[in-house]
Structure 1
Amino acid sequence: MKKQKKWTILASLGLAGALMLSACGQNGSGGSASGEGSADSFGKQVNYEIIGIDPGAGIMKATNKAIEEYGLSDWKLIEGSGAAMTATLAKDIKAKKPIVITGWTPHWMFSKYDLKYLDDPKKVYGEAEEIHTIARKGLEQDEPTAYAFLDRFEWSSDEMGEIMTAIQDGKKPEEAAKAWADSHADRVNEWIKDLKPVNGNPLKLSYVAWDSEIASTNLLQYILQEKLGYKVTALQVEAGPMWTGVANGDVDASAAAWLPLTHADYLAKFKDQIDDLGANMTGVKTGLVVPSYVDVKSIEDLKK
């Protein structure tokens, strides 16, 4: 008799728990991060918004194309900045809320948070990309030391991640770059071996304000100045002025050209006016990103 009563109580508790979970799913709290039920319910949870970055970035153009290709007519791409995007991501992850962002690797947020790319079966974002170093025409003749170093420079996303993480943890970019160079002297020596230092020759670099490019450009600036004797100016600009500056000869080089997709339009426009020194990093990626606790797996799943 006692055993039968015990099971009756447990069954009642189970039903009550199920009703509570169901209610949470309906009012957007508790289980809201799962995205279960339908694409429509997930879309409502995130207000049909994809949190983007600077309007001129190649990933924003690709995302607008993805909205069109996947029929996401109810969705809106929110323009902003990389810093605003990561701040919104941090806030929503802390609250265990769902969110969709434009993302790319290498980026420190993949080390700090458990994130995943949404599958892109239509390949709107393309295959894996590369980050290239581009230089103005004539740099090889004018500054052979700088040109040779920039031509040799290549590293991995894990190496870049060390600098990005240090910056995110509070170090100034120039301090993080110096610390990395000092602790990876063997890598630096590979890049500058047998190169003859100069005596204060001016050099201009340009880069976009992405965490990855802040890391790489500060490292290049440190090595060019402290190891090769250049006086370096690093200009933070949008992608268009970055490419235009190199093409016009106003800027000597940039290690922040994302190809073949992100900066495809700029390469098509300026390919005959710049020297492409090749990839300084391979296997980079762009796309739509969500926290791993979100059940949505593909961009197709966002469609109503």
Structure 2
Amino acid sequence: MHDRMRTLKQVALAGVCVMSLAQAQAAVPEECQTVRFSDPGWTDINVTNAITTTLLEGLGYETSIDLLSVPIGFKSLQNNDIDVFLGNWMPAQQTFADQYEGGYERIRANLEGAKFTLAVPQSVKDAGINSFSDLDKHAEKFDKRIYGIEPGAPANNLIQKMIDADEFGLGDWRLVESSEQGMLSQVNRAARRDEFMVFLAWEPHPMNLQQDLAYLSGGDEYFGPNYGGATVYTLTRNGYTETCANVGELLNNLEFTLDMESEIMGAILNEGEDAGEAAQQWLSQHPDVLDTWLAGVKTVDGEPGLPAVKQHLDAR
């Protein structure tokens, strides 16, 4: 009799364990257990993706990041091929936001006070180049070139639109498309040689700390007021935060700062650190942000998220 009772208890305990495991696995729908991100190849989005994926991995999620141009990223959201895009710079991406309206959801602003427009080395400004309207007066010194970033970037489209419209007398100028790193290498060379160069610049970015640069005024019609003052938003595919409510909670909590992003970007660009390593190091040094970011957020198996992420960071 005693053995039979013990056997029944073991069966019951096993049943409880199986039920607990099933409940844990059911805490997050299977389709939500891998979170798919888009990255247009910009270091600032490398940073915010790395921060967010580090947190998610600490919560027990799998993550993936696809390198996609902005328009392809919007299309991928519409097609449910990706889940999250942390790099919706507005108003620069207004054209794509309008084109794919209804094909994504805007969750919240994740960065305020960003800016981007054309800039020159400070030595060029000192020579009298203060605004867009000054460029063509010194066209030969600039070799009639404006340096942008990767092909397909909305900012490049703005520059090309300006050239096509012959704004500021720039109709015979040429947009030079390159990678972010290629453009910045050219900026470094021009600054060392005191050469004239006009290029796309933005903040957050360590270029603002490393380069003595000057943003040009007068481009409000194309880049917006306040030197292209921008807000960066988090987007998801339609219905994502309803289906994947726990990740949605995290995304609703995430808000970054200019200094934070520039600091981590500096570790990547200047010290050669991997984005994930740089993000993990920053999070370990600034654990206070976790209280806000992980408020109400659970692990994949439904446990409190904050201690799990702290343990994950300590173990790396």
Decide whether aligned partners of structure 1 residues 228 and 151 sit closer, same or farther in structure 2, where only a CA change above 3 A counts.
Answer: farther
- Give the RMSD, CA atoms, in angstroms: 3.0
1:186 equivalent to 2:288? Answer: yes
Q: 1:227 aligns with which of 309, 312, 315?
A: 309
SS at match of 1:70: helix
Could you tell me how far 1:162 is from its partner in structure 2? 1.1
Taking the aligned partners of 1:157 and 1:36, their CA distance within structure 2 comes to: 29
1:175 equivalent to 2:250? Answer: no
The residue that corresponds to 1:64 in the other structure is 160
Decide whether aligned partners of structure 1 residues 190 and 34 sit closer, same or farther in structure 2, where only a CA change above 3 A counts.
Answer: closer
Q: Percent identity?
A: 28
Could you tell me how far 1:229 is from its partner in structure 2? 11
Decide whether aligned partners of structure 1 residues 66 and 194 sit closer, same or farther in structure 2, where only a CA change above 3 A counts.
Answer: same
Could you tell me how far 1:198 is from its partner in structure 2? 0.6
Decide whether aligned partners of structure 1 residues 122 and 131 sit closer, same or farther in structure 2, where only a CA change above 3 A counts.
Answer: closer
Could you tell me how far 1:178 is from its partner in structure 2? 0.3
The residue that corresponds to 2:190 in the other structure is 92
Q: List per-residue Cα deviations over 1:79-118 (Å, max 9, x = no partner).
A: 1111110110111111121210012221111111111111
Could you tell me how far 1:66 is from its partner in structure 2? 2.6
The residue that corresponds to 1:125 in the other structure is 223
Q: 2:148 aligns with which of 18, 42, 52?
A: 52
The residue that corresponds to 2:248 in the other structure is 147
Task: Give runs of aligned pairs for residues 1-304 of structure 1, distance below 5 A.
Answer: 35=127, 42-67=138-163, 68=165, 69-120=167-218, 122-127=220-225, 128-170=229-271, 171-199=273-301, 227=309
SS at match of 2:276: helix
Taking the aligned partners of 1:157 and 1:73, their CA distance within structure 2 comes to: 34
Partner letter of residue 47 of structure 1? D
Q: TM-score, normalised by structure 2?
A: 0.50
Q: List per-residue Cα deviations over 1:190-227 (Å, max 9, x = no partner).
A: 11023211149xxxxxxxxxxxxxxxxxxxxxx99x72
Contact 1:36 1:42 in 2 (8 A): no
Unaligned runs of 5+ in 2: 1-122
Could you tell me how far 1:35 is from its partner in structure 2? 4.1
Decide whether aligned partners of structure 1 residues 183 and 229 sit closer, same or farther in structure 2, where only a CA change above 3 A counts.
Answer: closer
Stretch of structure 1 that moved more, 145-154 or 166-175: 166-175
Could you tell me how far 1:40 is from its partner in structure 2? 5.5
Decide whether aligned partners of structure 1 residues 101 and 82 sit closer, same or farther in structure 2, where only a CA change above 3 A counts.
Answer: same
Partner letter of residue 159 of structure 1? M
Decide whether aligned partners of structure 1 residues 141 and 33 sit closer, same or farther in structure 2, where only a CA change above 3 A counts.
Answer: closer
Taking the aligned partners of 2:218 and 2:124, their CA distance within structure 1 comes to: 24
Taking the aligned partners of 1:84 and 1:77, their CA distance within structure 2 comes to: 14
Decide whether aligned partners of structure 1 residues 39 and 111 sit closer, same or farther in structure 2, where only a CA change above 3 A counts.
Answer: closer
Could you tell me how far 1:166 is from its partner in structure 2? 1.1
Decide whether aligned partners of structure 1 residues 45 and 189 sit closer, same or farther in structure 2, where only a CA change above 3 A counts.
Answer: same
Taking the aligned partners of 1:145 and 1:229, their CA distance within structure 2 comes to: 19
Contact 2:147 2:177 in 1 (8 A): yes
SS at match of 2:185: helix
Taking the aligned partners of 1:126 and 1:105, their CA distance within structure 2 comes to: 14
Partner letter of residue 289 of structure 2? R
**How many equivalent residue pairs?**
177
- Structure 1 runs of 4+ off > 6 angstroms? none
Could you tell me how far 1:182 is from its partner in structure 2? 0.9
Decide whether aligned partners of structure 1 residues 153 and 40 sit closer, same or farther in structure 2, where only a CA change above 3 A counts.
Answer: closer
- The structure carrying a bigger helix percent of its residues is 2
Contact 2:148 2:177 in 1 (8 A): yes
